[in-house]
Chains A and B, each alone.
Chain A
Amino acid sequence: MALKDILTPFTAWTNVFKPVVTIKDPFNDRPGAERYRGFHFNDTSKCIGCGSCEAICENEAIDLVPVEGIETKDGDSGLRPRVDYGRCCWCALCVDVCTTASLRLTNEYTWVTENPEDLRYTPGVDVKPWDNNELGWKKPEPNYHFFGQKRVSMPELHPEQRDKSFIEIVKGYSKEQAILEADRCVECGICIATCPAHMGIPDYIRAIREDNIEEGFKILYDTNPLPEICGRICTHKCETVCSVGNLGEALSIRWLKRYIADQVESEDYKRILQSDGIANNGKKVAVVGSGPAGLSAAHYLALMGYSVTIYEQFSQSGGMMRYGIPEYRLPYDQIDKDVNYILSLGVKIIYNTNVGKDISLSELKSKYDAVFAGTGLHLGRSTRIPGTDHKHVYQSIDLLNKITEGKEIHVAENIVVIGGGNVAMDITRSLARLQNIKYGKVSIIATSLEDENSMPADREEVVEAREEMATINPGWGPKEILIEDGNIKGLRVVKCLSIFDEEGRFNPKFDESNTNFFKADMIVESIGQGMDIEYISEDIKKDLEINNRGRIVVDELFQSGAKWLFIGGDIIQGPDVIHGIANGHKAAVGIDKYLNTNI
C-alpha cells in the first residue's frame, strides 16, 4: 500500500466543518427517474450468454458464469452475466449492446447490505426486490443499435437474367460490402458450436474487417478445405444461431467465407497455407469417393504426409457437389479451384473407377494401410405410388447427374416434381431453365407433403424458384400418376394434414376429401436419397455394426467395426457438405491415430 493510499481518506476531514448540502429524508420514497440507470435485471430466458455485455464493459464489472438449470445448447452458451457492483459505473453500455435486449437497468438505486460479497450477483437468477420493476433504462428500440441490423444485400442476377441459363446467380461481395457486413459481428463465438466443422467464424470475420485476407484464408483451411464450395452452398446452420439475428438479421457468414476464398488466386494457395515440401511418411491411404468427406479426409491426410489415392466412379471429382448441385448455385470452376489445391498436395484421383465393380474393397484393403469411404447417397427413393414405373417418371438425382455430364435429358412441356427439399428445388429450377430454353415458357409444379412453413428447402431456394416462374404448391400427398393411352396425364394428390405421428415417426395423415390434380406429361421424384453399400462385401460387412435405422455404426473418429475402414459423409451424418467435411477431417485424425498407435 502506498503512502498516498493511507493519507487520501483523511482529506475528507477537510470538509467536516462545511455546511451540509445533502438532506435526510427517511420517510418519503425517492424513486429513480423513469429512465434511471439503477441495478440490473436480466431476462434469463431471452439471454443467450453471448457475452457482449462483458466484452463492452470498460470496468470489467461483468463475468459470464454457468447457471444451474440453464443448459448449454445450440445458440445458447448457458452462461449468464454476473455483475460486480464494486466495479459497475452504471453507464449502461451493457444494456445498449445486448444482442437480445434481455438485459436492462431498473430505476432502483438504493440497497444496503453488510456483506460486500452480496454486491456481486447474477441478475435475473439471484432474486432481487427490483426484478419486476418496469422502470429504468432499457435498450431503446427500434432504431438504436451498436451494430447494423440489416445485412449488406448480396448482388444477384435478376430472374430474367438467369432463367434461361446456368450462370451463377450470386455475384459475391465487393471489399467494401464485405467489410461493412463483417463490421456487424459481435465476435461472441456462439456460432462455432453449431457449425459441424466448428470453423473459427469470428476470427475469419475479424480478418475481413482488418482486410487481412491471407490470415482469414488460413483460418478457413484450419477446419475446411473446400471454402469456395462451402462459401456458396453451405447449409449455414451457423447463421440460424447468430446472436445478431436475435434482434436483426443474422450475419451473412456463408457469403463472408466465400468473399475470402474468392480473393485468393490459386497460385497463392501453397504460399499462404505453407503447404510446400510436406515430408512423405511412407504410408498409403485409399479414399472411396471424391465428395466433400473424401476430399476433406484426403486433404488432411496429405498434410500429415500420407500418400492418398481417391477412387471416383464418375469422370470428374466432387460427388454430389458437382453431380447434384446445379451450376447456377455452384459453378464447376469453383469446385475445380478447391479440388486442384488438394491435388497439388500430392493426392491422386483415379476416375471412372467404381469400387465394388472395377476394384473390390478387399483389394484396397490389401494395397493400402487404411481406407476411408465417403460414398454418399446416390440412390433416388421412389414414392412407389401407382404409375411410377412409367418411362417418363424420373429420379431427380439421375437427371441432375445427366445435366452435369452434358447429356440430353427428356424435358416435357408440363412437369411435376414431387419433393420439397433443396434437391427438389435444384431439379425444379434446372428443368424450368431447360423448359425456358426449349419451349420459351415454364410449366413446372413442385409439390411436397410439408406445407409452406415446414418445407425443408432453404427459403431463398423457394423464393428464387418462384421468381423463375416455377410453381411451388406444398402441402399435398401424391396418390397416383394418371396414365391414359400410355401417356402421363398428371399427378393426383390429396391434402396432407400432418407428416409425423405423436412419437415423431413418419406417418402422414391425409384429408382424402380434399383432392387436387396437377397436369403433367413428366414426373420427377425427389423425396430423398438412399445409400448403396453393395460395394462392402459380406466378409467385411460381418465386422460392421448396423444400427436399427440401417446406418453403419462408427466411433467418434469415424472408425468402423472393421478397424482399417473409416466411413463418413452423408451415409453417416448429414446429408450436407459441411458434415462431410467435418467427418473427413476427424477420420483423417482417426486414421493417423490408427496407423501410429494401432487403436
Chain B
Amino acid sequence: MNDIIQDITTRFSVTDIINKRENLTFVTCRKENTISLITHLRDREKFTHLVLLTAVDWIEDNLFQLTYILNNPTKKIDIAIRTMIPRDNPVMESAHRLWEQVATYQRELKEMFGIEFPDSPRLNEPFILEGWNEIPPYRRDFDTKKYSTETYFPRIGRGTNDPEEYMKSKLYPNDPTK
C-alpha cells in the first residue's frame, strides 16, 4: 500500500493522506486529476472494483466532496479518493466508461445533490424520487422538517405533548405565578 501511495503522490499530487486502517487509505486529489488517477489505479494497480461513489455537502465552504472507494481484490486493500468540486457549479467528469455501473451512482448524485456528470447515461431520469420539484434533498439547505410539515401534516390521529407543559399540567397545574 505504501509504495502505491508514494507513487500516486508524485504522479498525481495527492494530498491529505489518511491511513484509516492497514488496508484502507484516504487521499485527496484535484478535480482535474481525479479520473486519470482512478484510471491509473484500475489499470496499473489492479483496483478493479468500485466499492462506491458518494458525496458530502460542505455548505460552509461552498464545496461538494466526491468520494470514490476502490478495491484491489487480489491484495484485499482499498483506496478512497476524495475530490472537491465547486458547489455553485457542480460538474464532474463522468466515470461510467471505467465501470458501467458508475452511471447509477451518478444518477443518484444528480438527483440527491444536483451534481452534473455530462454524458453519463440516463442521468436525468428519476432515480428514487418521483415527481420531485424541490431542490435536491441531500443538499443541506433543503429544509427536511419544513417539507415534512407542509407535505404530510396534519395526519389524523397524530398529536404530541411538550414535556415542560405536560409536566406543568400534571404536577403544578394551579401555580399562580405561572
- Which residues of A line the B interface, CB within 8 A? 4-5, 7-9, 11-12, 49-51, 54, 58-60, 62-66, 72-73, 77-79, 84, 86-87, 117, 120, 188-190, 192-193, 197-198, 202, 223, 300, 556-557, 582, 585-586, 589-590, 593
Residue of B nearest to A585 (CB): B177
New A-B pairs, 6, CB < 8 Å, besides A63-B159, A77-B161, A77-B166 = A8-B131, A63-B160, A65-B161, A78-B167, A79-B163, A198-B168
- Indicate if the CB atoms of B160 and A72 lie closer than 8 Å: no
The CA of A50 and the CA of B164, in the complex, are separated in Å by: 9
- Indicate if the CB atoms of B163 and A590 lie closer than 8 Å: no
On chain B, the residues within 8 Å of A192 by CB distance are 164, 167-168
The CA of A160 and the CA of B162, in the complex, are separated in Å by: 48
Q: Does B144 touch A at the CB level, under 8 Å?
A: yes
Q: Does B158 touch A at the CB level, under 8 Å?
A: yes
The CA of A73 and the CA of B163, in the complex, are separated in Å by: 11
- Indicate if the CB atoms of A4 and B166 lie closer than 8 Å: no
- Indicate if the CB atoms of A193 and B175 lie closer than 8 Å: no
The CA of A7 and the CA of B126, in the complex, are separated in Å by: 14
Q: Does B74 touch A at the CB level, under 8 Å?
A: no
- Indicate if the CB atoms of A586 and B160 lie closer than 8 Å: no
On chain B, the residues within 8 Å of A77 by CB distance are 161, 163, 166-167
Most buried by A among B161, B163, B167: B163
Residue of B nearest to A4 (CB): B131
Interface string of B147-178 (1 = CB under 8 A from A): 01100110101111111101110111011111
The CA of A485 and the CA of B91, in the complex, are separated in Å by: 99
- Indicate if the CB atoms of B157 and A72 lie closer than 8 Å: no
On chain A, the residues within 8 Å of B159 by CB distance are 63, 65
- Indicate if the CB atoms of A556 and B170 lie closer than 8 Å: no
Specify which of A11, A58, A190, A582 is in contact with B177 (CB 8 Å cutoff): A582
On chain A, the residues within 8 Å of B176 by CB distance are 556-557, 586, 589-590, 593
- Distance (whole angstroms) from the CB of B157 to the closest CB of chain A: 7
Q: Does B16 touch A at the CB level, under 8 Å?
A: no
Residue of B nearest to A50 (CB): B163
* Residues from 13 to 66 in B contacting A, C-beta threshold 8 Å: none
Specify which of B144, B155, B170, B178 is in contact with A198 (CB 8 Å cutoff): B178
12 contacts between A and B (CB under 8 A): A11-B126, A11-B130, A60-B153, A63-B159, A64-B160, A64-B166, A78-B167, A86-B152, A87-B148, A189-B163, A202-B164, A590-B176
On chain B, the residues within 8 Å of A49 by CB distance are 163
On chain B, the residues within 8 Å of A300 by CB distance are 177
On chain B, the residues within 8 Å of A7 by CB distance are 131
**Interface residue total, chain B, C-beta cutoff 8 A:** 30
* Residues from 122 to 157 in B contacting A, C-beta threshold 8 Å: 126, 130-131, 133, 144-145, 148-149, 152-153, 155, 157
On chain B, the residues within 8 Å of A11 by CB distance are 126, 130-131
- Indicate if the CB atoms of B145 and A65 lie closer than 8 Å: no
On chain B, the residues within 8 Å of A590 by CB distance are 176
Most buried by A among B131, B148, B160: B160
- Indicate if the CB atoms of A87 and B166 lie closer than 8 Å: no
The CA of A78 and the CA of B176, in the complex, are separated in Å by: 23
- Indicate if the CB atoms of B166 and A58 lie closer than 8 Å: no
- Indicate if the CB atoms of B167 and A586 lie closer than 8 Å: no
- Distance (whole angstroms) from the CB of B146 to the closest CB of chain A: 10
- Indicate if the CB atoms of A193 and B171 lie closer than 8 Å: yes
The CA of A585 and the CA of B176, in the complex, are separated in Å by: 9
Most buried by A among B133, B144, B148, B161: B161
Most buried by A among B157, B162, B176: B176
The CA of A192 and the CA of B177, in the complex, are separated in Å by: 13
Residue of A nearest to B163 (CB): A77
Residue of B nearest to A193 (CB): B167
Residue of A nearest to B164 (CB): A189
- Indicate if the CB atoms of B145 and A60 lie closer than 8 Å: yes
- Indicate if the CB atoms of A189 and B177 lie closer than 8 Å: no
- Distance (whole angstroms) from the CB of B76 to the closest CB of chain A: 20
The CA of A135 and the CA of B166, in the complex, are separated in Å by: 34
On chain B, the residues within 8 Å of A557 by CB distance are 176
- Distance (whole angstroms) from the CB of A532 to the closest CB of chain B: 28
The CA of A79 and the CA of B131, in the complex, are separated in Å by: 38
Most buried by B among A12, A73, A188, A198: A198
On chain B, the residues within 8 Å of A59 by CB distance are 144-145, 148
Residue of B nearest to A203 (CB): B164
- Distance (whole angstroms) from the CB of B119 to the closest CB of chain A: 22
- Indicate if the CB atoms of A84 and B158 lie closer than 8 Å: yes
- Indicate if the CB atoms of B170 and A63 lie closer than 8 Å: no
On chain A, the residues within 8 Å of B161 by CB distance are 63-66, 77, 79
On chain A, the residues within 8 Å of B175 by CB distance are 198, 586
- Distance (whole angstroms) from the CB of B149 to the closest CB of chain A: 6
On chain B, the residues within 8 Å of A84 by CB distance are 155, 158
The CA of A62 and the CA of B163, in the complex, are separated in Å by: 14
- Distance (whole angstroms) from the CB of B52 to the closest CB of chain A: 16
The CA of A368 and the CA of B176, in the complex, are separated in Å by: 23
On chain A, the residues within 8 Å of B149 by CB distance are 60
- Indicate if the CB atoms of A65 and B160 lie closer than 8 Å: yes
- Distance (whole angstroms) from the CB of B141 to the closest CB of chain A: 13
On chain A, the residues within 8 Å of B171 by CB distance are 72-73, 193
- Indicate if the CB atoms of A72 and B167 lie closer than 8 Å: yes
Residue of B nearest to A76 (CB): B167
Known A66-B161, A120-B157; contact A60-B167, beta-carbon cutoff 8 A: no
- Distance (whole angstroms) from the CB of A447 to the closest CB of chain B: 38
The CA of A87 and the CA of B153, in the complex, are separated in Å by: 11
